[in-house]
Amino acid sequence: MSAKQQNKDQKNQIIGLLIILGVFFAYSQYSKRSIQFITAQQIPQQDKDALYVDVRNFDYHGRPHYKKAIHISCDDIKAHKNLQEIEKHNTIIIFCMMSRARAQDSVKILQKLYPEKKILCVKGGITAINAAFPNDMTY
């Protein structure tokens, strides 16, 4: 192989890697921006018709519950099960224990299923809601 051909192959490899890195970076930035977070203190400012959904799985039972929320596990959302109540509301507010993995996964899935709906995630999850509104909790 000539030096010219090797140089061309190296350039093509570099371009390919740059494209892959660019796509990865764009996706990671998009996925971060696609989730809208609210604080627990912002809950009273939300749409009065908003549906609050606790997406905890195994850690739901025997823990504090927000009185205004319904429970649809993250596993059910991933399986597209028990979503009838979500279909009735325009604003959906999602949380789990800390609103990290499960809540964010649930938000992304629901955004794809219902692009016309406003889907928010409570930063800090049920822990933050409990701290902000202890009188709105059941045990």
For the structural domain made of 35-138, what CATH number should be given? Answer: 3.40.250.10
End-to-end CA distance of the chain: 73
Average of per-residue pLDDT across 92-113: 96
Which of 128, 82, 130 has its CA nearest to residue 109?
82
As beta bridge partners, residue 27 has: none
User: Which amino acid is residue 111, in one-letter code?
Assistant: Q
Percentage of residues in the chain having pLDDT higher than 70: 91
How many angstroms separate the CA atoms of 102 and 10, rounded?
Answer: 42
pLDDT, position 27: 56
Average of per-residue pLDDT across 125-138: 96
**24's tokens:** 């990865």
pTM (2 d.p.): 0.74
Please name the residue that has the structure tokens 């996706």: 27
The alpha-carbon radius of gyration of the chain (Å, integer) is 21
Residue 78 pLDDT level (bands cut at 50, 70, 90): very high
How many angstroms separate the CA atoms of 60 and 34, rounded?
Answer: 26
pLDDT, position 11: 80
Q: Where are the domains of the chain?
A: 1-33, 35-138
Q: At a CB cut-off of 8 Å and minimum separation 6, what does 74 contact?
A: 55, 56, 57, 96, 102, 103, 105, 106
pLDDT, position 25: 59
pLDDT, position 28: 52
pLDDT, position 108: 97
pLDDT, position 68: 96
Average pLDDT, the chain: 89
pLDDT, position 70: 97
Give 19-47 pLDDT, tens digit per residue: 776 666 555 544 444 899 999 999 999 98
pLDDT, position 58: 76
